Structure formats: C-alpha cells, structure tokens
Chains A and B, each alone.
Chain A
Amino acid sequence: MSKILVVEDEQHQRELYAMELQDEGYEVDQAANGREAVEKVKANKYDLVVLDIRMPEMDGIEALGKILSRDKKIPIIIYTAYSNYKSNFMTWTADAYITKSSNLDELKGKIQEILAGRSK
C-alpha cells in the first residue's frame, strides 16, 4: 500500500484530504506545517507528499527544498489555493502544481498517475 504524507495547516482540510485518500486505498500520514513535514520525511518512508505552500512556522517552499535535499526522488505535489507561487521557481522542482478546487479529482488523478509511473 502506498504511503502518502499530507502537509496542510488547516486542520479540517487536512483531515478531509486524509480521509478521501484513505478511501482511495492509500495509507495517509499528516503534518500541520513545513517543519513537521521535514521531520516526518526524515523519520518515515513515504511514496508521495502532498504539500500546501502557505503555512505557519515553515512554508511549503522551504519544506520542498529541505525534503528534496534529503530525498531527490520522492514525488511531491504542491497543492495550494494560490496559482501565483508558480513565479517562485523553487516550486518548479515539484512533480506537479495543482491549484485547490472544491473536489479532489485532479489531485487524486495526479497521485495515481505519479505512483503508477513509479511502479513501472
């Protein structure tokens, strides 16, 4: 079973994503900000990270850099309400950049696509 880390500061959203992804058959772990995410990546092995950008303590951009310097290969999907972070070039190192919408179809589709590509 693929293991996903969901990084999102807004608790309700985070729990919603976790539930929906569990329903898809993934094992899901949660982190409430970038710093927690980096610690969890150090301590655990994930198949994919879903990463919000705007978060307290450590934002997603800094976390992205730190996660990649630990593990270049780990797939990362940026999942944010804002499209303008694309102008921060660090976000270009992520595997995908998805702007949040009311349903999770695009996110789920992308997760599936990336994990399928990796298991080849």
Chain B
Amino acid sequence: MENEYLKRTLVFLLSGGQGERLYPLTRDRSKPAVPFGGIYRIIDFSLSNCLNSDLKRIIVLTQYKSLSLDRHIKTAWNLFPREMGSFIDVVPPQQRIDNNWYRGTADAIFQNIYIIEMERPDYVLILSGDHVYKMDYRSMIRYHIEKDADMTIAAIETPVTEAARFGVLDVDSANRVTGFQEKPDKPMPIPGREDSAFVSMGIYVFKTEKLVQYLSEDHRLEGNNDFGKDIIPRIYGTERVVAYDYVKHEGERAYWRDIGTLVSFFESNMDLVAVSPKLNMYDRTWPIRSNVEQYPPAKLIFDADDRRGMAVDSIISHGSIISGSKVYRSVISPGVKVNSYAEISDSIIMNGVKIGRHTRVRRAIVDKYVEIPANESIGFDLERDAARFTVTSDGIVVIPKRYIF
C-alpha cells in the first residue's frame, strides 16, 4: 500500500519543556500547554500536523506541570480508536530505567524505549511540542526513506543573527550533514550567503534500529543525553545523517516558529492578526484543531461616538463581548469581556479576562481569568508595571493567570 510507511511510523512528541523563558505563562503549565492564538494551545499545531499527515500512533511525553496539558489532550484530542491501532497516549515519566527525570531529549526517548519495543515501528518521528508551525511529515518521512537515511533532520534557513539558539547544520550538495554546531556563539553561515544559517528544527526521523543503537550508546556516555548536544555531533561523521529542507518542500504553507521566549510568543501571536497572516489559519486543506468550549458567538455592542464597540486588525474569539470599547491589533480569546471606554492595543488577552471601564492596555499579555479593574492602565508606565509584573526587554507586560489587582 502506498502509505503503508505511515502506519509503520511511531511519533514521539516531546512535551516536557519547562519553558522558563516563557515565565509567568509557564508558572502553572508546561510550555506546550500555553494558550496561543485565541483558541489554541501550542501543542495543537504538532498534533494537527500529525492528523493532517495521517500519523495516528502518537506518544506525548510529559514531565513538568503536566496537568493542564494532560486535560487538554484528553478533552480535545480523544479522537483515535485504539482498536484500529491508533492512539494518542500521554506518558508521564515512568522511572522504569532509573529514578531520574529526563536529562535531555534523547534520554526522554530512551527511558520510554519499551514503547518502541511494543510498537515495533520501522520509523520513529520525534517532534517538539513547543513549536508553532505547519508541516507535512509525510513528505519528510518519504524523503528519509528515499535517501535511505539513518537520521533525517528537518532544517530551516534563519538569519545568522538568530541562529545561536539552535543547532546549526552544514550540508553538502546532496543534503548530507557534514557539520553541526549546537547553539554556537558564532553560527556558521550557509556558504556564499553570509547572513543566513541552516538550523535544525528539532524534528527528526530515524530508522528504528538506528535510533535504538544511538540511544543505547548514548546511555553509556557522559553528557547531556540530548539529540542536539550529544547524538548528532557524535554520529554525523559516520552515519547517514541527512537534512530535510523544510521550506523547499513545504512551499507556500511553510511557517515555523520555536516559541522559546515571551518575545517570540508575542510576535507569533501578532503574526495572526496581520491582514495577510504569515500563519494562515484559514487553509481548509490543513486545519488546526483544538478544544473549543461552547460559547455564543463574539459580540460587539454600542454605537455612540464616544462609546463604540469596535475591533480592527484583531482576532475576536467566541463568547467575547466588546462592549463600548476599542480593540486594535490584538488577540482576544474566548469568554473575554471588555467594558465601555476601555482601549486595548497590540495585546494578547486570554480566556475569561475581564477589563474594566476606562482601562487602557497596550503591548501586554494578559493570562487567563485576570480581572483588570476600571481606570487601570497597563503598558503605559513600564516602571510601575515592572514593579507589579514581568516586563520583557522590549516592553511587553505579562500579567499572570488569576492575578488579583
């Protein structure tokens, strides 16, 4: 059968990221569970990509603060019939092999190696639960098979100035990996294009036997037990390690962001409110699904000159009421109430937030269920805000979940 290889692929979705640089959004939840774009959580992108790619054997490895992620997957992603051999299993650390938490990404897979034993896949696809992106994994797995690769690494071109957060690849004309630097101080540019670097997206396909071999060897070595820090540098010289050029294969659909920091989280959300968003959520050939709570549709009310309910260049989720107030360039999540004479601009307002009359909010991320009282101002006096909240280096104010004013 043409797509038989998909059934012979097991997916591991690494979802244990602590996300310290997303604090306070990660105070009560792991990074993949952070809400995104109004109705989504970050992990919905990877899971939707799996669904759109016909991959239905998925292990979600959790670790820190996994309750909200666990609940989300149980309610939003309870889709696959196990009796047909498909599943999304949420697996917390089992401590079957030793009593430690996962050290690095490779250790997370190694500690769950018994799952590979039971499932007996031919290929293992390893994903990260903290990227916002669209990707057809079928194309990458086919490429891996065609190239007869031991390991295939999805890679993307990025400005050399941003490459230091990633693993940087050097490849030959056949896309064989010939060099690798993990989070280098001075990233190597693409030959002849000094301002760009080719970086690993942290998405890997392995031949199962090879993966088990690398993990077993790695388990015996000192190090971080990490794909980027240990395994890739150790194997690329002797094994068939190949890079998959994501943008070239994905074409117009290509969009990928590693939500590593509050700034990248903010910018990625803001990508959605652009007139022609870089991240197109309207593409019916590649739907992104989530857990949608039942609410009535969004409502905008009052039409007096001084008290007009309006929103422009914004996303307004269901259950929200923009009542006699103005919203500019913002993401409004479900169940938000913005009261009269308030003004919100360039902000991300999460579920159930209430904003009082005459309150102004600018360049802020307001986490769930915060009630901002009347006549407040957020994002105008950053010194005052910094005394109360997290403020990023470029002035984005973050108000934590259920903050009491």
Q: Would A73 and B97 count as touching, CB distance under 8 A?
A: no
With a CB–CB cut-off of 8 A, which chain A residues contact B213? 92
The answer to the question of A102 belonging to the interface, with a C-beta cut-off of 8 Å to chain B, is no
Cα–Cα distance between A88 and B118 once the two chains are bound (Å): 9
Interface on A for B, CB 8 Å cutoff?
65-66, 68-69, 72-73, 87-90, 92-93
CA distance A93 to B114 in the complex (A): 13
**Known contacts being A89-B216, A93-B220, is A65 close to B114, with CB within 8 Å?**
no
B263 within 8 A of A: no
B121 CB to nearest A CB, Å: 12
Establish whether residues B98 and A89, one from each chain, have CB atoms under 8 Å apart when the complex forms: no
CA distance A73 to B116 in the complex (A): 25
Please judge, given known A-B contacts A72-B222, A87-B117, whether A92 and B216 are in contact too, CB under 8 Å.
Answer: yes
25 contacts between A and B (CB under 8 A): A65-B96, A65-B97, A66-B98, A69-B97, A69-B99, A69-B100, A72-B220, A72-B221, A72-B222, A73-B220, A87-B117, A88-B117, A89-B113, A89-B114, A89-B116, A89-B117, A89-B212, A90-B97, A90-B113, A90-B114, A92-B212, A92-B213, A92-B216, A93-B216, A93-B219
Q: Total interface residues on B, using CB and 8 Å? A: 16
Q: A9–B100 Cα gap in the complex (Å)?
A: 29
Which residue on A lies nearest to B114, using beta carbons? Answer: A89
Contacts of B100 in A (CB 8 A): 69
Bound together, the chains give a CA A45 to CA B287 distance in angstroms of 59
- A91 CB, min distance to chain B CBs, angstroms: 9
- Kindly provide the distance from the CB of A47 to the nearest chain B CB, expressed in whole angstroms: 16
| Residue ID in chain B nearest A64 by CB atoms | B97
Chain A hits for B219, CB < 8 A? 68, 72, 93
Which residues of B from 290 to 312 have beta carbons under 8 Å from A?
none
Tell me which residues across on chain A come within 8 A of B212, comparing CB atoms: 89, 92
A93 CA / B107 CA spacing, docked (Å): 13
Given contacts A90-B97, A90-B113, A93-B219, 12 further A-B contacts (CB under 8 A): A65-B98, A68-B220, A69-B99, A72-B219, A72-B222, A73-B220, A87-B117, A88-B117, A89-B117, A89-B212, A90-B114, A93-B216
